[in-house]
Amino acid sequence: MSNNEDRLLFEKHKQSLKQEKRIVFIWQALILVCFFGLWELASRLNWIDPLLFSSPSKVINLLISKFSDGSMITHTYVTLFETLLGFVIGTLLGILLASLLWSSTRFSKIADPYLVILNAMPKVALGPIIIVALGPGYVSIVAMGAIISIIITTIVVYTGYREVDPNYEKVLRSFGATRWQCFKSAVFPANLPVMISTLKVNVGLSWVGVIVGEFLVSKEGLGYLIVYGFQVFDFSLVMAALILIAIFAAIMYKVVERIEGWLIKHTT
Amino acid sequence: MSFLTLENVTHHYFTKNDYTKALDDISFSVKEGEFVSLLGPSGCGKSTILSIVSGIMKQTSGKVLLDNKSIDESELAIGYMLQQDYLFPWKTILDNVLLGPTIQNNVNEELKEKARELLREVGLKNVENQYPSSLSGGMRQRVALVRTLITDPKVLLLDEPFSALDFQTKLKLEDLVFKLLHAYHKTAILVTHDIGEAIAMSDRIIVMSANPGSISKTFEVPIELRNELPFLVRRHPKYQSIFDKVWEELNKNEAQTV
């Protein structure tokens, strides 16, 4: 009898959770629709200059035509490829560098002032030098995407290594573990959550690096489309590129979130 | 015959601006199969002694001998149990238990079976594939105990292993550890600041004082109490008198420092 009542209460609770979820979703959808609706309306009624700010319908038409002739696919593909590669290289090198710093206290002391300077420096300012050094092409752009996240990854991951509870190491040392074994079985896995959180930051950063790289030198890519559209005053093109960047950056972020859930099921 | 010996062990901690003498001329010895407690206020260097005996830290001067060999040359395994379980949350219970053998590279089926058996012995059935997060504090500390015992250590160092547990769990675990250590005839050093626990579990109590950490007095636990289970020791008529003596000694030390 009372069991039934409990069940009823539970059902009610589930219902209210569902209700809350629905309300949040409706608001989210509403904001999206309003934004594009207002944009379209403002553009049609000339509240904003349609030449400068384009309109959703023009952007969609442009996207459809550019995707059907295949040109947009190439641009998107190039930028995505560069960003992913920059992201992976930047993150891996950062983690590797952090691990090296951890392995030698003296090395980390020596490297400290250089890391501070490199971290404080706006990496995109290095763009022209990178292009001169690596040539005007993919390599430079990927390098931009990577370099922007290396130093910050190094610093964050290294700090994470040092904050791992030293008692885990104590347990391992009591079994006679070497420093490398301590790293492999405690310090590195305990630091995974920190690494994942840098992944999330780096997703955004590599997009910055790659788009700036494409601004500076490129013949294809979404960053190139933005600069090109700006120069020929085709703002539908600029907007279309922006929307694609927003969509793919969000997808990449979500993928990283999935990886996070999968990797750190049991770290706490 | 002495199994573990500390001879004039002194240890300093150095910081950038200062140094502190954590241990001053500590000498004592432990016989094989004996259970010794180190009792004292916090900061008297109890844990430092364990770190030195385990070989994790090197003393500034003095000698530590295990079975007549210097501690860093000794091949005999030492087990270390900390205040908290420090189970690795990303490893299953079985993998946690097999941590020592994994480090020493000698995991095999036989050892896995031994691990399961030991887990059963401490009252943990069907948990080997679970993760530490799904176990209670007392269960986790029991897993930590098994992890310490699986390498078959000759000496067990217990660094306040019951202090983070609730009272009831603590009493039960004391009995369990006592039974296991006696059954396997292990030598053990327990660090604690709980007088009752020290009396209930050990054969001998070394009372320490702080600043710098030194031995102030050693108490032999009456023979009648030694072989009783910790829970029953607390009810024994002789318990109170030794409790009072230890209490007095600790208070005397404190009065000096305050």
Place of tokens 């996207």: A63
Assess if residue B74 is contained within a domain. no
Average pLDDT, chain A: 89
pLDDT of residue A79: 92
* Contact between A117 and A60 (Cβ < 8 Å): no
Give the strand order in the sheet containing B214-220: B78-81, B155-159, B187-192, B35-39, B204-209, B214-220
Instruction: Write the pLDDT tens digit of every residue in A71-113.
Output: 888 899 999 999 999 999 999 999 999 999 999 989 999 999 9
* Contact between A196 and A187 (Cβ < 8 Å): no
Give the strand order in the sheet containing B2-14: B19-31, B2-14, B61-66, B69-70
Tokens for B48? Answer: 């430092």
Distance CA B248, CA B241 (A): 11
> In which band, very low, low, confident or very high, does the pLDDT at A267 lie, cut at 50, 70 and 90?
low
Distance CA B244, CA B230 (A): 17
pLDDT of residue B179: 87
Q: Which of A171, A172, A267 sits opposite B89 (nearest CB)?
A: A267
Interface contact B56-A181, CB threshold 8 A: no
To the nearest 10 degrees (0 to 180), the angle between helices B137-149 and B109-121 is 140
Tokens for A91? Answer: 């993150």
Q: For A182, name the nearest residue in chain B, comparing CA atoms only.
A: B103
Residue extents of the structural domains in chain A? 2-48, 56-263
pLDDT in tens, chain B (258 residues): 678 888 888 888 888 888 888 888 888 888 888 899 998 888 788 888 888 888 888 888 888 888 877 877 777 778 888 888 888 888 889 888 988 888 888 888 888 888 888 888 888 888 888 888 888 888 888 898 889 888 888 888 998 888 888 888 888 888 888 888 888 888 999 998 888 888 888 899 998 888 888 888 888 888 878 888 888 888 888 888 888 888 888 888 776 655
Assigned fold of A56-263: MetI-like fold (1.10.3720)
Interface contact B56-A170, CB threshold 8 A: yes
Here the ipTM equals: 0.82
Distance from CA of B86 to the nearest CA of A (A): 6
Assess if residue B249 is contained within a domain. no
Of the candidates B106, B202, B99, B84, the one whose C-alpha atom is nearest the C-alpha of residue B147 is: B99
pLDDT over 70 percentage in chain A: 98
Sort out which chain B residues have CB atoms less than 8 A from A267's CB and list them.
89-90
Instruction: Write the pLDDT tens digit of every residue in A141-185.
Output: 999 999 999 999 999 999 999 999 888 888 888 888 888 989 988
Q: Identify from B81, B98, B103, B107 which residue to disrupt to test chain A contact, counting A C-beta atoms within 10 A and taking the largest count.
A: B103
Owning domain of residue B92 = 88-153
Of the candidates B162, B175, B214, the one whose C-alpha atom is nearest the C-alpha of residue B44 is: B214
Q: For A166, name the nearest residue in chain B, comparing CA atoms only.
A: B86
Distance CA A64, CA B73 (A): 75
* Contact between B195 and B247 (Cβ < 8 Å): yes
Place of tokens 């002694």: B49
Interface contact A267-B79, CB threshold 8 A: no
Give the predicted TM-score (pTM) of the model. 0.81
Tokens for A254? Answer: 């979500």
pLDDT of residue A86: 93
Distance from CA of B47 to the nearest CA of A (A): 12
Assess if residue B108 is contained within a domain. yes
Interface contact B89-A192, CB threshold 8 A: no
Distance from CA of A267 to the nearest CA of B (A): 5
Assess if residue B104 is contained within a domain. yes
Place of tokens 């390098």: A143
How big is the A-B interface in CB pairs under 8 Å? Answer: 55
If interface means Cβ-Cβ distance under 8 Å, which residues of chain B face chain A? 51, 54-56, 78-80, 82, 84, 86, 88-91, 99-100, 102-104, 131, 133, 151, 157
Q: Which of A165, A170, A175 sits opposite B103 (nearest CB)?
A: A175
* DSSP helix/strand/coil, B180: helix
Assess if residue B213 is contained within a domain. no
Q: For B101, name the nearest residue in chain A, comparing CA atoms only.
A: A175
Q: Which of B90, B103, B131 sits opposite A189 (nearest CB)?
A: B90
Q: Which of B86, B100, B157 sits opposite A168 (nearest CB)?
A: B86
Give B226's DSSP letter: H
Q: Which of A168, A174, A268 sits opposite B133 (nearest CB)?
A: A268
Q: Which of B88, B90, B99 sits opposite A175 (nearest CB)?
A: B99
| A192 touching chain B per CB within 8 A | yes
Sort out which chain A residues have CB atoms less than 8 A from B151's CB and list them.
175
Assess if residue B63 is contained within a domain. no
Distance CA A111, CA A133 (A): 24
Sort out which chain B residues have CB atoms less than 8 A from A167's CB and list them.
82, 84, 86
* DSSP helix/strand/coil, A219: coil
Distance CA A204, CA A137 (A): 22
Instruction: Write the pLDDT tens digit of every residue in A249-265.
Output: 999 999 988 888 887 76
Sort out which chain A residues have CB atoms less than 8 A from B82's CB and list them.
167, 170-171
| A172 touching chain B per CB within 8 A | yes
Report CA Rg, chain B: 18
Number of structural domains (chain B) is 1
Assess if residue B229 is contained within a domain. no
